[in-house]
Amino acid sequence: MYEGKIIEYIDQGNFICALCLQDKGNRLHLLTPTNREVNLPPKRAMLVSSEILGVDHSREGLLGKLKQAEEARIRLKEKIDVPALWELLKEETGSFEGRYLAELCFGEAVGDQHVSALVRALFEDKLYFKMKDGRFFPNSEERIEQMLKQREEEAAREELLGRGGKWLQDVLDGKDVQEPACRDEVVRLLVELAVFGKESPDFKQGKELLKRAGVTDTGEARKILCKIGVWEEDENLDFIRYDIRRSFGPEVLRASRLLAETDPGAAEGGEDLRDLSVFTIDGPMTEDFDDALSVEIHDGEITLGIHITDVAGTVPEGGVLDKEAFHRASSLYLPRTQIPMLPPELSQGILSLTKGSDRAALSLLCRFDGEGNLLDYRFIRSIIRVNKRLDYDKVDATFLEDKDLSALHRLTQILQHRRIEQGALVLSLPEISIRVDPGGEIVLQTLDQNTPARTMVAECMILYNWLVARYCRDHGIPILYRTQEEPGERLPVNEDNYVFYVFKQRRKLSPLKVETEAKSHAGLGLDAYTNASSPIRRYADLVVQRQLRNVLLGKKPVYSAEDLEKIQMLLSVALRDLGTVKRNRSRYWLLKFLLQHTGETFPALVLDEMRNRYRVVLLDFLLVAEMKRQEGQMLQEGQHITVRIQKSDPWNDVLKIEYAGP
């Protein structure tokens, strides 16, 4: 049936004009113009000539005829004006045969060569016609515009890959070359690869870009970004992963400047408490002070003042600053970076309880008898002035010599003891403070959380938050309460192995919840609790402060319970992300510190025994890691051991340790 005819088919995107030497039914044996013989299924034949050339000529003769046929088809193809043909048919509906279209292009007398030329022309320029089942459909104008746009995008993509890949290759080769115009787009692809890996929106394009630069491992994107000066060695990728805002926009800064020009010490109606001796206790590097204390002793009674900066009176609800703070949810404090919830002009300026400045506050004044029993308390809007700025170390060193501090220490010890009697769990571990010097040196410091000064401040803040919660509960003011049910189990306190006890007991705790209904907080041993003592740094605290402040002014609460539930739902997502960023960054710097101490040994504690490994905590860093069990090794939970650092990779969060002895 096909023997002696010219068969045209497509191979690797090219039209091939071949002569059928033999028709085997399910296979056609063909001779190509390059003097190759191939077998082809009949269904792959796009065009079959009606003319029979015959196969009894010499091989040279057959090849000559094929060449002539191919050249004739190419010459005719160049004469076809595809756009003009489309203009002629674009209003028509339905499809057309190739021969009919060839007749429109060449006239009625058309042969195999004309039809082939037509099909070739439409195949090469797929913009105007679509081919299906041997027939041609004119594309719509909309479809043509879409395809033209796709072609432009593909051309731009190829330009990016070509020029961008060459630039990266030159940089990696150490050449001093000028950045291309597509530099920003190249950086975007590399950043996405480094941050999101295979989940990158343009992973294939980024991978191809690196391939053009001679790089096969997409994990090298981070190193390349460092090489071209976009990132530093310790770049925090979580800022990108979790869309952490590190700076404030122009509109927010303008609003901040306007507020900074106001006088927060002139708050109308605030009770003047500037005659009190008010002091702050914070770390030496603190710049935003949102709480201060005062102590008065009369006739054996103590009046404790807890003064919280009045952010609600300065930052209006629903304004640009409020929306920005809501989006951020909380300030973020990292070893080398501090990202405030509110602009520094406010958080370190007019809202900060700085020494010697008049400030508006929401003050809690509590009166205790000599045994530490709470006689009465009241919340007021106030004007205060901080007289002394103290830090934890100074208070620890001098509190016994200071009458007010000594009384405060005794009172807060009583308050803590009573909470413990009511079921509170004291599960504090030292804080591992991480500081990175400008030269890159990592300095670790272990901060005891149970010192007299820290206990004083902690108990005062717990007292403030507890009484805000009770006041709002008893007066029907909707707020966000922090609640916690009883732990699944209360373990006996093990003072001899306290760290092990804390880790084990923490696993037994019920989850913390934030609700609009007042319930007990088992972990703190209190019947109600909220967070209202840090409105500069936490948006939830600002929300509670607004509710309390409005009631003190004789106004309706700002938020309903339904409003608060919506706010909490959105805040919980942001706070979860911030918690992840903080944990990841602390772990990064600890792993980098351990990288510098590879091969050294450190004390550790066995937390869990598993099938093939142990989970341990490195005591100097309170860093949990897994350790492979050695053959025949039998360690006990709670056992103190020594481990050796085998490998630490902060970028990929890898820590390998091995048992080094008891």
pLDDT of 212 above 60 = yes
Q: Which two tokens stand for residue 221?
A: 């994107």
pLDDT at residue 415 above 70? yes
**Neighbouring-strand partners of residue 33:** none
Measured CA to CA, the distance from residue 6 to residue 23 in angstroms comes to 12
Report the chain's mean pLDDT, rounded to a whole number: 94
pLDDT band at 269 (very low <50, low <70, confident <90, very high): confident
**What is the reported pLDDT for 52?**
86
Q: Is residue 493 over pLDDT 80? A: yes
Residue with tokens 């195949």: 123
Which segments within 12-56 are labelled E, that is strand? Answer: 14-23, 28-31, 37-40, 47-52
- The pLDDT score that the predictor gives to residue 268 is 66
CA separation for the pair 501, 367 (Å, rounded): 36
Range 375-409 burial, b when 16+ CB lie within 10 A, else e: eebebbbbbbbbeebbebeebbeebeeeebbebbb
**Rounded to whole angstroms, how far apart are CA atoms 195 and 191?**
6
pLDDT attached to residue 54: 75
* pLDDT value of residue 455: 96
Q: How many whole angstroms separate alpha carbon 7 and alpha carbon 10?
A: 10
User: Residue 196 half-sphere exposure, CB side, CA atoms within 13 Å?
Assistant: 18
Counting residues of the chain whose pLDDT is more than 90, the rounded percentage is 87
Which residues contact residue 389 at a Cβ distance below 8 angstroms, ignoring those fewer than 6 apart? 279, 280, 282, 289, 354, 355
Residue 551 has pLDDT above 70, yes or no: yes
pLDDT score for 94: 87
C-beta of residue 238 within 8 angstroms of C-beta of residue 653: no
Element (H, E) at 10: strand 5-11
The pLDDT, as a whole number, for residue 264 is 58
pLDDT, mean of residues 625-636: 92
Where b means 16+ CB within 10 Å and e means fewer, 290-317 reads: bbbbbbeeeeeebbbbbbbbbbbbbbee
Q: Provide the pLDDT for residue 263.
A: 66
Average pLDDT over residues 359-364: 96
Q: Quick one: what percent of the chain has pLDDT higher than 70?
A: 99
pLDDT at 266 over 80: no
Predicted local confidence at residue 580, as pLDDT: 96
Q: Number of helices and strands (H, E) in the chain?
A: 18, 25
- Can you give the pLDDT at residue 56? 81
Token pair in block for residue 441: 């040196």
Give the SS3 label for residue 524.
coil
Beta bridge partners of 129: 138
| Res 287: pLDDT | 92
CA distance linking residue 366 with residue 306, whole number of Å: 8
Query: What CA–CA distance (Å, rounded) separates 366 from 576?
Result: 34
Answer whether 307's CB lies under 8 Å from 291's CB.
yes
Residue 550 has pLDDT above 60, yes or no: yes
Strand pairing category for 47-52 and 37-40: unpaired
CB–CB of 210/221 below 8 Å? Answer: yes
CA quadruple 313, 314, 318, 323: dihedral positive or negative?
negative
Q: Label residue 265 by pLDDT band (50, 70, 90).
A: low
